Structure 1
């Protein structure tokens, strides 16, 4: 109920007056916004996977690497064991941020174009070079 009170005050400040119909109309508009923003939230797993420091560092390293890297080359970049690195890389593959290929006993990982674009966009946004 507190949300209705605050929305009523906001509408009253903007319009000079507010009735129940104005509040209901605004709440309906906000529901459409929520449905649009969260309805088919396909990118949420991408940001969720990057919320972990190990996964973020691995994805970032691969995005700036020149080509593929083996798990054994990625392990020194993070402060976790081989199993945790492999698990983190699997999560990154599932999120579409990393690709992998197997060559004999070795697994090689590379950044996807999607990940590279994501990091480049974030870098531009942070630096203000839009």
Structure 2
């Protein structure tokens, strides 16, 4: 059974008892609303879930605010976790496409990606809407 068929059946069950609405018109209206909502990609959802961890979330915010690339030794004193936890979190953020990494000799430098900035802006806007 398709999504439209399930929705039609639900509307018929619900609307028959409560009002005189035309199920076909209401279904078309609801389908247009669904079509207007952009679908998040799997990678967008993965990136969002990556920010669910407090350390990773703090690191992304720090990197977005930074004026230049930062190495782990510069980041660690700014958060309350050890070098290993910072490195692991940065690796997860890199895998999610929220942080980019460049290597210079034995040092690795990190910066937030545009995607991270857009995601944080969207989260901040959503948080602002609920207030």
Q: TM-score, normalised by structure 1?
A: 0.68
Is the CA contact 1:58–1:77 (under 8 Å) kept in the aligned structure 2?
no
Counterpart Cα distance in 2 of 1:113 and 1:14: 48
CA distance in 1, matches of 2:17, 2:78: 53
**2:83 matched residue in structure 1:** 82
Quick check: 72-81 or 90-99, which moved more?
Answer: 72-81
Instruction: Structure 2: state its 5+ residue gaps.
Output: 1-6
Alignment RMSD? 3.3
Residues of 1 paired with 2:125 and 2:39: CA distance? 23
Partner residue, 2:95: 94
Secondary structure at 2:43 match in 1 = coil
Question: Counterpart of 2:114?
Answer: 113
Take 2:16 and 2:75, find their aligned partners in 1: how far apart are those partners? 57
Residues of 2 paired with 1:67 and 1:118: CA distance?
A: 20
Partner of 2:55: 54
Q: Distance in 2 between matches of 1:95 and 1:50?
A: 9
Question: What is the CA–CA distance in structure 1 between the aligned matches of 2:64 and 2:17, rounded to whole Å?
Answer: 48
> How many residues in Structure 1 have an aligned counterpart in Structure 2?
115
TM-score, scaled to structure 2: 0.68
The answer to whether the 8 A contact 1:99-1:112 is kept is: yes
Distance 2:17 2:105 in 1: 68
Segments of structure 1 that go 5 or more residues without pairing to the other structure are none
What is the rounded CA distance, in whole Å, between the counterparts of 1:57 and 1:13 in structure 2? Answer: 50
